[in-house]
Structure 1
Amino acid sequence: MDSSGEALRTSQEDSNRILVLGNSEINGSDNSICTSKYTILNFFPKAIREQFRRVGNVYFLFIGFVMLIGTYTTAWESAASPFTTLGPLAFVISVSLVQEASADVARHRNDKKTNTHPCILLKCAEDLDKSDKKRVRDESVFNGKDIEISLDIHQRSEDESNLPLPKAYTTSVSIDVKNEKTKTVKLAFERVQRKDIYAGDIVLMKSRDMVPADIILLATSNQGGSAYIETSSIDGETNLKLRSSPQIPNDELNLLQQTETLEQAAKRLAGLTLLGYPSGVNAAENPLNNYRETEVEREESYRRISSKSSTFKGMFASSKRSMAYGGSINRKKSKDVDTETYVASLLSEPPNPNVNNYTGKLTLPPGKDGDPSITIPLNNDNILLRGAVLRNTEWAIGVACFTGDDTKLVLNSFTTPSKFSNLDKLMNKTVYVIFFVMIVLISLMAIGAVVTNSNRFDEFWYFGLNKNTTQVWPYLPDLPPPEWETTTDNFIQQFLLFLTLLSSFVPLSLYVTVEIVTFWMMYFINTDKDIYHPKTDTPALARSTIVTDLGRVSYIFSDKTGTLTRNVMRFKRCSVDGLAFGAPIEKKSPKATQEKEEEKSKEGDGNISSEAFHPLKQLLVGTVSIPSLET
């Protein structure tokens, strides 16, 4: 963290991440986030340290200790009681600590609200029932009922290894096979808190839901497995962005025009992940993957085989890929028979803050024995970033890739800074100047005191100064001799004495006044009805450390239309094939008064006939609009 506290969050992970779909990486990072600055244990040390970033607080603390030592020791004298300085200083710091605590409590509440927001995970029902802690099913999905499916048990002998089996990634995994090589698995949709999502979990999102983590899209309710997201909380853009699922081979899905129900998608994913095969092996570890040949090697192998035997060529002319690729695999698998059941895995780039790029690889289990696993490259079009909102999509399912502090949104955020207002900076500079002037005056006064006491020592008997300790008081000879001081204070003692005397050069009341004024400014801003948004029930939130800077704003820079203004597109006039639609546009005089301009603005499109624009309405609406599935 830099000195200002505004440091980008970084990830400790620098290598590619390998995830098996359906396997929760509980030992990894959870999905909780923390934007607060303090905890119960470190609040006082850190918050008090922040208070002494103000030079005035350091100054008065030093003066208080000088007064304390001068009052209760004989090292030097103090011109005032230490409590006249330390008392008001303690009050000022206490008020600031209360403001810091209240602001951080609000951060903790927001973090708790975010981390405990309900989310839905696709889990094996057996895991939920056998868990030691209470785990609940989400009643909004299938009324909390489980989904029962049948899956093949992939146990094959060497003689059976050449026989193709039904694909595990078809639309409906329920297979009516009348043999003993099937098993029944129940799936459940579990309701969990957002913080309990881990990398590898299968997450279900509904329309208008915020994406809880960085998620690789696997299935949606839309055609082709696409989804729309709104990323206004990430990049400020309100237009919808299209994201797509990886192009998973799915013959039956194509027959259904690439649409599927939530139940079909859950069944399909179960056949690919640990949800259906808890003892499955990472598909990336398939030994036949090492025998995969490139397209060039396949072509060369085919040409080499074709040139040696015309009979061979005629026999396999219709399946060049099968000869050059599948044949090579079949020669290998006769020695290394694979009896494992493979499940999908994800090879992902390490966590990084780049929100515009993503690279990864999804490895699916082979469609049949003797085939290598299916590898699908992933890019930025396949990932949903945390903070985005699912739109125009009834539901979407994906696998959590990055969670919590590893998400791109969090890695792009700054650690909560300790902001220092311009007023505090100005007061610090002023204190430096005043302190410099005070030091000069105190030095001159201390030098003058030392010189005067040295030159006129004998004349200052009324100060109790006398080198003859037996001499009685002048003019009072009947009284016994007093305890005369035979020496005077040196320069340092005189300096510290005058320092306590002139300590009010820096007004402590200034800091007290600033704290009180800041408190009431925050109160008035938070309760101002003119800056209250009733639709979202959102009042203005004043920041205690920078609220005093509002009066020092001179310029406002806005990045684009829509930040401080409204982007409203109004039809004025158009011409189609020589036919004009809309009222004529009047030329505005540069000397027109503001009242006249406002009057024209209020009139709006009143002169435009809706009937006149009707011929183009359906054409334009059908061209630029996207049908919304949201209610």
Structure 2
Amino acid sequence: MPFFERKQQKNQNSGDAGHQRKISTSTIPTISKRRIYVNLPLPATELDQYGQPKECYVTNKIRTSKYTLLTFLPKNLFEQFRRVANMYFLFLVVLQLFPMIGGEVQPFLASVPLISIISMTALKDAFEDWKRHAQDKNLNRSQTTLLRNWRNVNIPTNDTSSQNFLVRIWNGIFNLLGCRIGENLDNNKVSHTTHNGAVWTESHWQDVKVGDIVKLKNNDAVPADMIILSTSEPDGLCYVETKNLDGETNLKVRHCVPSTISITTESDCENIAFYVESEQPHSNLYSYTGVLHYPDNDATDNNLIEPISINDVLLRGCVLRNTEWAIGLVIFTGTDTKIMLNSGDTPSKRSKIEIETNFHVCSFTSENIQGCYLFGIDPQLKNCVA
């Protein structure tokens, strides 16, 4: 029995589901598009000259730390010298370099207090950022279940390999000679079938990519923003906890796309064929617009289409509750997910005490400069005051 006929039969057996929507063959207008294909070859317009997808998506690996090994020293020094007190004492150390001002005081000895303060603060910042790196590493290596031995056509075949870079250089050289490796690459080679069959495999969150199919179990956290294809419930419902997103502890109801409600096995995931036309990532947690297109055997010009809303989407950071399992299609990963778009970069916090200290140091420095001018630089004025 064809896949979508089984879907219709299951819908009839499951009773009247209030969330199911009528599938239409009319054209739904879209504005900004991201197309994700499942078991369909990418159109030639979406492939580059090497037969690889033109669209490159961000990885699902996230980083909330402020520094790296290369950026720690310059960024940390910049942050510390934003404090006016540090700038003031640095200015005093620089003055010690001039014999007429510093006298017999060694510049190094004058800089020891400032170096000590800067070093201790840097060690404290490094330790705090190391803990952020450890948390990021644990999160990126969290376990989830992905469909493997199955071709995700939305990512390049050599996605993370240096070999792809070398091949492009080689092709660039041979371009000058009029021949190009992979010039006659068959687009159908970027295919969806495998010889051994697809299987569910435990993988890390950082390995999740746009277009992957993920299977969540009860109490699993959602690794990326994804469309719900099916759930263990006959009516396609599932329950999620969004405490990490909006702070609300009550469970929310989400439901799958009706046309994919019959997906239960790896074989079903291999046999379906559709593509999703999605909006571009944005930070609104309560809005999403997309359209699912799948082939219609009876139609010649139009594909059957079905709208997708935020109620059909699981967002990264949510937790699946009271549902045995749910299968979803990844649409946004890493920094494109809504939770990351709302978090932003790790801020450099400045306390009220630090702000007030900066103000008082500026005032004190200004008074010192005025005093030096009045009583030290102009001897005539000094005598007049005396």
TM-score between the two structures when normalised by the length of structure 1:
0.45
Retained in 2: the 8 A contact 1:126–1:186?
no
Structure 1 partner of 2:36: 19
Is residue 241–residue 318 contact of structure 2 (8 Å, CA) maintained in 1? yes
State the one-letter code of the partner of 1:269.
C
Query: How far does the alpha carbon of each residue in 1:473-505 deviate from its partner, in whole angstroms, 9 at most, with x for none?
Result: xxxxxxxxxxxxxxxxxxxxxxxxxxxxxxxxx
Distance in 1 (CA, whole Å) between partners of 2:134 and 2:201 is 25
Change (3 A) 1:21 1:119: same
Match of 2:340 in 1: 410
Q: Using the alignment, how far apart are the partners of 2:377 and 2:308 within structure 1?
A: 79
Of 30, 39, 63, 2:59 maps to: 30
- Asked whether the 8 Å contact 1:220–1:395 carries over to 2, the reply is yes
- 1:83 deviates by 3.3
Q: For residues 519-572 of structure 1, what are the alpha-carbon distances to aligned partners after superposition, in whole Å with 9 as ceiling and x for unaligned?
A: xxxxxxxxxxxxxxxxxxxxxxxxxxxxxxxxxxxxxxxxxxxxxxxxxxxxxx
Q: Distance in 2 between matches of 1:49 and 1:205?
A: 44
Once the two structures are superposed, residues 43-102 of structure 1 have per-residue CA deviations (whole angstroms, 9 ceiling, x without a partner) of 1001001100111110111111111122xxxxx342444334311000000011011101
Letter of the 2:33 partner, please give it. N
Task: Using the TM superposition, give the Cα deviation of residue 210 of structure 1 relative to its aligned residue in structure 2, in angstroms.
Answer: 0.6
Residue pair 1:118, 1:193 contacting (<8 A) in 2 also? yes
- Per-residue displacement from partner, 1:158-213 (whole Å, max 9, x unpaired)? xxxxxxxxxxxxxxxxxxxxxxxxx9862211222101111110011111111000
CA gap 1:452/1:120 in 2 versus in 1, 3 angstroms = closer
Residues 367 and 452 from structure 1, CA distance in 2 versus in 1: closer, same or farther, beyond 3 angstroms?
A: closer
Following superposition, the deviation at residue 439 of structure 1 comes to 1.8
Unpaired runs of 5+ residues, structure 1, are 1-13, 71-75, 134-182, 254-259, 273-342, 454-631
**Residue 113 (structure 1) aligned to one of 130, 138, 155:** 138
Where does residue 41 of structure 1 map in the other structure?
70
Which of 317, 321, 329 is 1:399 aligned to? 329
Q: How does 1:182-581 map to 2 (within 5 A)?
A: 186-248=197-259, 262-263=264-265, 266-272=266-272, 343-367=273-297, 370=300, 372-447=302-377, 449=379
- Specify the code of the residue in structure 2 equivalent to 1:93: I
Instruction: Assess, with a 3 A threshold, how the Cα gap between structure 1 residues 34 and 393 changes in structure 2: closer, same or farther.
Output: same
TM-aligned CA distance change 1:229 to 1:83, over 3 Å = same
Alignment partner of 2:102 out of 65, 78, 103: 78
Which secondary structure state, in structure 1, belongs to the residue aligned with residue 206 of structure 2? helix
- Give the AA of the match of 1:271: N
Over 3 Å counting, the alpha-carbon distance change for 1:58 and 1:184 in structure 2 is closer
Q: Is the CA contact 2:95–2:101 (under 8 Å) kept in the aligned structure 1? A: no
8 Å contact 1:68–1:82 — kept in the other structure? yes
Alpha-carbon spacing, 1:184–1:432, altered in 2? closer, same or farther (3 Å)? closer
DSSP-derived class of the 1:228 partner: strand
Q: Which has the higher contact order (CA 8 A, sep 6+)?
A: 2
Structure 1 residues 219 and 443 mapped into 2: Cα distance closer, same or farther (>3 Å)? Answer: same
- Checking the alignment, whether the CA contact within 8 Å between 1:117 and 1:193 is kept in structure 2 is yes
CA deviation after TM superposition for structure 1 residue 225, in Å: 1.2
* Counterpart check, 1:58 vs 2:94: no
Q: Secondary structure at the match of 1:398?
A: strand
Tell me the equivalent position of 1:570.
Answer: none
- Superimposed CA distance per residue, residues 213-241 of structure 1 (whole angstroms, 9 cap, x where no aligned partner): 00000011012111100000000110110
Which amino acid is 2:149 matched to?
C
Letter in 2 for 1:61: L
Measured against aligned partners, the alpha-carbon deviations of 1:326-361 in whole angstroms (never above 9, x if no partner) come to xxxxxxxxxxxxxxxxx2100000010011011100
* Closer/same/farther in 2, CA of residues 362 and 451 from structure 1, 3 Å limit: closer
- Cα deviation digits, residues 79-136 of structure 1 (max 9, x gap): 4443343110000000110111011111111111111111111133699xxx999xxx
Distance in 2 (CA, whole Å) between partners of 1:267 and 1:371 is 28
How big is the alpha-carbon RMSD for the aligned residues of Structure 1 and Structure 2? 2.8
Q: Which has the larger radius of gyration?
A: 1
Q: Quick check: 1:363–1:374 contact (8 Å CA) kept in 2?
A: yes
**SS of the counterpart of 1:427?**
helix
- Tell me the distance in 2 between the aligned counterparts of 1:219 and 1:205: 11
Gaps of 5+ in 2: 1-30, 41-51, 160-193
- Cα distance in 1 for partners of 2:148, 2:259 equals 21
- In the superposition, relative to structure 1, how do residues 19 and 449 fare at CA in structure 2: closer, same or farther (>3 Å)? same
Q: CA deviation at 1:446?
A: 1.2
1:378-413 deviation line (CA, Å, top 9, x unaligned): 111100010000001111001000001111111111
What SS class does the counterpart of residue 248 from structure 1 fall into?
Answer: helix
CA shift in 2, pair 1:89/1:249, >3 Å: closer
Using structure 2 for the length normalisation, give the TM-score. Answer: 0.72
Give the Cα separation in 2 of the matches to 1:61 and 1:53.
12
**Relative to structure 1, is the Cα distance of residues 248 and 227 closer, same or farther in structure 2, using a 3 angstrom cutoff?**
same
> Does structure 1 conserve the Cα–Cα contact (< 8 Å) formed by 2:284 and 2:338?
yes
* Cα displacement (A) at 1:414: 2.2
Partner SS state of residue 356, structure 1: coil
In structure 1, give the amino acid aligned to 2:351. S
TM-fit CA distance, 1:450: 6.7
Q: Distance in 1 between matches of 2:382 and 2:363?
A: 29
Contact 1:60 1:85 in 2 (8 A): no
- Which amino acid is the alignment partner of residue 97 of structure 1? A
CA distance in 2, matches of 1:60, 1:356: 50
